[in-house]
């Protein structure tokens, strides 16, 4: 069965410092991975997906199949990045993916001024 | 354009009572998912529904839990004879119609927090 692990429950950095939120996964097939974010008093929302290879709000994430990791990185953290971050893996039965996601436990990022 | 609407936001039930949680997806979305978040844990998939059909209920407990998404009206997650272990946040999410493979993006509601006394 697939599993997503976020080893850090809490992560604190100072504004302007680099930040890396770790995510490791186990999955027998070809994974589709996502980062979701929940800002204070807001809904959970998609931040980025690995297939897009895009940078959103300065964040990037590279899928490393050898290390089965999908770490989220930002070179210079901002206070508004403080939020709960969830790494998620999409189940793709029969090659057609849909919204059955396996979530990690989440990492609370706090960026101090 | 309203997002996913869930109600009630908070629900308190005594052991043995029934809980009904409602979810109205984003307008035009025909796929609904229910997730449960127990304290100190991540979201766990429960069930995936399309209009009038349950597509995948592999995450649903075998007893007391049921879900529906009727042709008209919201999706309902129903928990019968609640126990304290059912206390959790229940999130609904929706996605648009599949078109050659979903991007996997889900649009989440704010959640319904169930407390069983």
CB atoms within 10 A of CB A73: 15
B39 touches chain A (CB under 8 A): no
Question: What are the pLDDT digits (tens) for B33-71?
Answer: 999 999 888 899 999 998 889 988 999 999 999 999 998
8 Å CB contact of B104 and A43: no
The torsion angles phi and psi of B71, rounded to 5 degrees, stand at -60, -40
Nearest to A111 by CA among A71, A69, A59, A63: A59
Of B31, B42, B48, the CB nearest to A103: B42
Q: Residues B98-109: what's their mean pLDDT?
A: 69
Mean pLDDT of chain B: 91
Select from A98, A105, A107 the residue whose CB has the most chain B CBs within 10 Å, as the one to mutate to test that interface: A98
Beta strands A83-90 and A101-103: pairing type? Answer: antiparallel
B74 touches chain A (CB under 8 A): no
Residue A51: left if φ>0, alpha if ψ -120 to 50, beta else—which one? alpha
Per-residue pLDDT at B100: 44
The torsion angles phi and psi of B29, rounded to 5 degrees, stand at -85, 135
């Amino acid at each position: 069965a697939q599993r997503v692990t976020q080893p850090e429950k809490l992560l604190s950095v100072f504004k302007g410092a680099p930040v890396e939120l770790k995510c490791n996964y186990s999955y027998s097939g070809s994974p589709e991975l996502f980062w979701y974010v929940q800002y204070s008093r807001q809904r959970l929302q998609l931040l980025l997906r690995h297939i897009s290879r895009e940078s959103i709000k300065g964040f990037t994430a590279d899928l490393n199949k050898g290390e089965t990791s999908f770490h989220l990185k930002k070179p210079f953290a901002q206070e508004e990045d403080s939020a709960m971050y969830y790494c998620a893996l999409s189940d793709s039965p029969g090659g057609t993916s849909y919204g059955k996601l396996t979530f990690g436990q989440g990492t609370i990022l706090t960026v101090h001024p | 354009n309203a997002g996913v609407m869930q109600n009630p936001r908070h629900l308190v039930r005594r052991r043995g009572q029934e809980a009904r949680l409602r979810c109205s997806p984003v307008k035009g979305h025909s796929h609904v998912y229910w997730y449960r978040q127990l304290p100190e844990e991540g979201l766990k998939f429960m069930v995936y529904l399309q209009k009038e059909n349950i597509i995948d209920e592999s995450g649903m407990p075998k007893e007391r839990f049921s879900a529906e998404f009727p042709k008209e009206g919201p999706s309902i997650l129903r928990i019968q004879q609640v126990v304290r272990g059912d206390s959790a946040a229940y999130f609904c999410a929706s996605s648009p119609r599949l078109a050659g493979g979903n991007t996997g993006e889900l649009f989440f509601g704010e959640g319904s927090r169930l407390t069983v006394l």
